[in-house]
Amino acid sequence: MVQTLKLVFSNFKYLALAIGIFVSMLIGLLILSEYIFIEPYLVGHVPQGTEFGFSLIVILSGLSGLVLAMNIFRINLLKNSKGKMGSSVFGSFIGAAAGACSCGPIGFAVISTFGSVGATSMAFLTNYEIPIRIAAIGVLALTYYTTVKALKVECNLKSQ
Amino acid sequence: MNKKGVIIGGIVLVIAIGVIASFSLSSNETVNLDMGRTHGTVSTAMGSPILGDPSAPITIVEFGDYQCHACYNWFHNQKPAIYDNFIANGKANLIFVDLAFLGRDSPIAAQATYCAEDQGRYWDFHNVLYNSQESKIDNGWANSERLKSFAFSMGLDMELFESCLDSGKYSKRVQYNISEAKKHGARATPTFIIVGPDNQQEQFQGGQPYSTFKQIMDNMI
């Protein structure tokens, strides 16, 4: 596993890509989930009782950066199937959607536009925010595992 | 002579108790009877009673929903410090204006607070709701039956409260508040407008930390 990671991230381009995805997703989700505020002052805080949700966002962003960069590596260098890329994007998207708290502007826009249907879907995302994020992390962890395994086999095959 | 003295003494005592009771009620809660009440550009006429000194130089207007988790977090983590350092000492007061949009139980919860206001207990009911909020929206924690049980446990006159809630007496009041919030660009709960002594306003959204409120209000005073 370490060798596979070394193989991918020895290329600075993929390391930068992973860090870029991690940072942008982390900041985006922290703003969306109201851990960071940019107006009227730039301020960050973790309210009491929301520490677990905060940890899940960090894990989700980290895994997204790792898995997406590894799959882009596979597509670019090995010209391989894009199936795992799909599941990693799916996992990241679902995890991010769970953070779109219905109290926030996204929830407000959805509820204002779609009425009771929007309210029901936003309520679902809010009510099951933590389980959805855990499921998204599960999808990303599984994708990570299968990607590492696939890269091992594919790289061995290439070297032979 | 003695009998007369006892009667006069009794009357004086009853008056004194009445005066003390009315003062103690007004210090806890100012019932909103001013239909033309505004703070800055916000019409707060249909909003909550004023929490704190009505003549305080700063007014915090909170647009909120009783089912909103961010409002719950702000209520428990930030509001106590704001109350202690700004509201309790007369530097600021607070008005809650409903932006009840999150679920079907949100408007009825807001209406219930005004039914409690009829009995001089708006802020008590407001606090009970934020102390009783459950993690799931519309799971029944704020439905009509639960609201009535909160009222019962607070010792409100149930006949008055139930007739108020069941008749939808304050439905239009809550709708007015929602439209007032939208008119001011509130797109999330909680959204705050802080109105300073010279009617200068600062608006921002989210359950922001105490430091943000302190910085804004210190600049206004």
A40 CB neighbours in chain B (<8 A) are 202, 204, 212, 216
Strand partners, B63: B97, B191
Looking at residue B49, its pLDDT comes to: 95
Looking at residue A82, its pLDDT comes to: 59
pLDDT, averaged across chain B: 88
pLDDT at A79 over 80: no
Q: Please tell me the distance in Å from A39's CA to the nearest CA on chain B.
A: 7
Which DSSP symbol is given to B157?
A: -
Looking at residue B12, its pLDDT comes to: 63
Q: Does A105 touch chain B (CB under 8 A)?
A: yes
The single-letter code of the amino acid at A30 is: L
Least confident of A76-85, A143-152, B44-53, B107-116: A76-85
CB-CB contact of B173 with B166 (8 Å) = no
Q: What confidence category does residue B6 fall into, taking pLDDT thresholds of 50, 70 and 90?
A: low
pLDDT at B18 over 80: no
Q: Does A46 touch chain B (CB under 8 A)?
A: no
Sign of CA dihedral B13, B19, B25, B27: negative
Size of interface A-B (CB pairs under 8 A): 76
Least confident of A3-7, A24-28, B11-15, B176-180: B11-15
CB-CB contact of B78 with B209 (8 Å) = yes
Looking at residue B68, its pLDDT comes to: 92
The rounded percent of chain B whose pLDDT value lies above 90 is 75
Q: Please tell me the distance in Å from A101's CA to the nearest CA on chain B.
A: 9
Looking at residue B173, its pLDDT comes to: 95
How many other C-beta atoms lie within 10 A of the C-beta of residue B126? 23
Q: Does B152 touch chain A (CB under 8 A)?
A: no
pLDDT at B121 over 90: yes
Residue that the structure tokens 């990241």 belong to: A92
Looking at residue B21, its pLDDT comes to: 44
Looking at residue A83, its pLDDT comes to: 60
Q: What is the ipTM of this complex?
A: 0.78
What mean pLDDT comes out for the span B68-97? 95
Question: In chain A, what is the straight-line distance between the N-terminal and C-terminal CA atoms, in Å?
Answer: 19
Q: Please tell me the distance in Å from A26's CA to the nearest CA on chain B.
A: 18
pLDDT at B24 over 60: no
Looking at residue B20, its pLDDT comes to: 47
Q: What confidence category does residue B25 fall into, taking pLDDT thresholds of 50, 70 and 90?
A: very low
A contact test, residue of B63, B69, B71 with most A CBs within 10 A: B69
Q: Does A101 touch chain B (CB under 8 A)?
A: yes
Selected residues 34-73 of chain B with any CB under 8 Å from a CB in chain A: 65, 68-71, 73
Q: What confidence category does residue B3 fall into, taking pLDDT thresholds of 50, 70 and 90?
A: low
Quote the Cα angle for A95-A99-A102, to 5°: 135
Looking at residue B13, its pLDDT comes to: 59
What mean pLDDT comes out for the span B102-108? 93
How many other C-beta atoms lie within 10 A of the C-beta of residue B142? 25
> A103: burial class by Cβ within 10 Å (0-12, 13-18, 19+)?
buried
Q: What confidence category does residue B9 fall into, taking pLDDT thresholds of 50, 70 and 90?
A: low
Q: Higher model confidence: residue B23 or residue A35? A: A35
Q: What confidence category does residue B93 fall into, taking pLDDT thresholds of 50, 70 and 90?
A: very high
Residue that the structure tokens 């004086």 belong to: B12
- Residue B192: phi and psi, rounded to 5, are -120, 140
**C-alpha span between A16 and A31 (Å, rounded):** 22
Q: Which residues have a Cβ under 8 Å from the Cβ of B2 and sit 6 or more positions away?
A: none
Tokens of B119: 């009995």
Selected residues 167-196 of chain B with any CB under 8 Å from a CB in chain A: 187-190
B207/A47 CB distance under 8 A? yes
Q: Higher model confidence: residue B21 or residue B117? A: B117
Name the H helices within B34-193.
69-77, 79-82, 105-117, 122-132, 144-153, 158-167, 171-183
DSSP H/E element including A150: helix A129-159
